[in-house]
Structure 1
């Protein structure tokens, strides 16, 4: 694994419209900011401007190098169509060495 450890990696979660999801995924993988982006259709219920709302969205699970979080956030914001998008990073505490090695190769810049 070239000295890399699981904690070098993270998963970023963001929600977006179905129209924007492929653009974000392709931009992040295309620039090697992400090794993989999974797109899941979801239905969200949330409070927005004092009202309870429900919407169909796409949840993106974005596999990244933790050190690239700021660049990933900026790329998402540049393509996102939400006023206040969810963008959160979850650290990877452990993972299969073979997968982490692949992720390292897929995200090298």
Structure 2
């Protein structure tokens, strides 16, 4: 059975021992979408590994475990919106995503 990109992201992000993890496929909201396309994702992750880190350091941790899936490293994912929090920072809200300029209106 072939694993979806969303499933692969969830599996790879598991290395960061998330207390909360949402991986949302937002591909349908972007230009060039067709059914089954997986190219744009939003990640909401809460983990103790982010405690005391600056935003860029949190993103670097996420990139380090997902880089093989990103276009910049030859992978299929074009965009990865990262919302990374320590347990103390997490308020339970999912940030909204901006509208894509190339999405069908």
TM-score range, shorter chain: 0.3 to 0.5
TM-score, reference length from structure 1: 0.43
Larger Rg belongs to: 1
TM-score, reference length from structure 2: 0.45
**Does 1 or 2 have the higher relative contact order (CA < 8 Å, sep 6+)?**
1
